[in-house]
Amino acid sequence: MKKILITGCLGQIGSELTMRLREIYGTNNVIATDIRRVEDNEVIESGPFELLDVTDHKAMLELAKKYEVDTLIHLAALLSAVAEQKPKLAWDLNMGGLVNALEVARELNLKFFTPSSIGSFGPGTPAKNTPQDTLQRPTTMYGVTKVAGELLCDYYFEKFGVDARGVRFPGLISYKTLPGGGTTDYAVEIYYEALKNKKYSSFIDKGTHMDMMYMPDAIEAIIKLMEADLPKLKHHNAFNITAMSFDPEEIADSIKKYIPEFKMDYNVDPARQKIADSWPDSLDCSAAEEEWDFSPKYNLDRMTKDMLINLSEKLELPLPNTLK
């Protein structure tokens, strides 16, 4: 990667990935795009930024040509919970945007990345140690678009030689940018509420295990995969990756190590709980480990400590005494 165009740069992944890529490849070599512009945003102010609706193929192609990019990282999409509320919009954006991005990559011979998700699995998928290659019959529109996206990327690789790569992300946790309507959002919200109010009502029920990853590991995974030598990749696309699997009680227990007075109860959201129940409990990441040396650094307690330290500073709240 030398010059990179990113779609959906203001989302949870894009906000941090853009800044990290600018550190590595140079500010002017990472062109950030999104459908909206916001004030006082470091992604917009720190380097090239363009407004882009990813359902507009011509506009995307023109931007890629204008900046003479060699890599396209396509992140723009509706997440799981929002997609269930607006399934037609989810299909139009997630699939229409993806096929436009793949077409641009084909036309300009670009290296390509787009993320898939554990949402691409369904209730018939083996729930524990879910294999890299297994049954995928999701019961959500988000999941349907992710499975279709995986197949589409494989098609463009086999048919047109597009170097399309991707990972299946678990739930992503970050202190920098709030998530935008995912089923795993509780695992971010809980840290905010622990610091602000010392209590939290989880919309995901007790005992519900889901795979998770801290954002620094997710960002480094994208970069590592994109820099891997193509001949080493047997799968190319939709690699299982994860760092930890926990239920709400376990994340609460981790927080209590630093905020002993923290309390959690439950106010389960049936819609998001149904989605969570259809997803795996844990993923087999051996393909990513073998083909491009995937290796996350953060476990639950290390992530909790880092989240609480950074959120205390961000929210201008007192640092818990256990972390001073």
Q: Which residues contact 156 (CB under 8 A, 6 or more apart)?
A: 102, 105, 106, 112, 162, 164
First to last CA, the chain: 40
**Nearest CA-CA partner of 264 in 213, 192, 190, 319:** 190
* Active-site residue (options: 67, 142, 156, 214): 142
Judge whether 167 and 238 are in contact, CB under 8 Å.
yes
Residue type, 239: F
Reply yes or no on whether 142 is catalytic: yes
Q: Exposure pattern of 277-299 as b/e (b: 16+ CB <10 Å)?
A: ebbbbbbbbebbeebbebebebe
User: What is the DSSP-derived secondary structure letter of residue 5?
Assistant: E
Distance CA 263, CA 199 (A): 5
Positions marked catalytic = 142
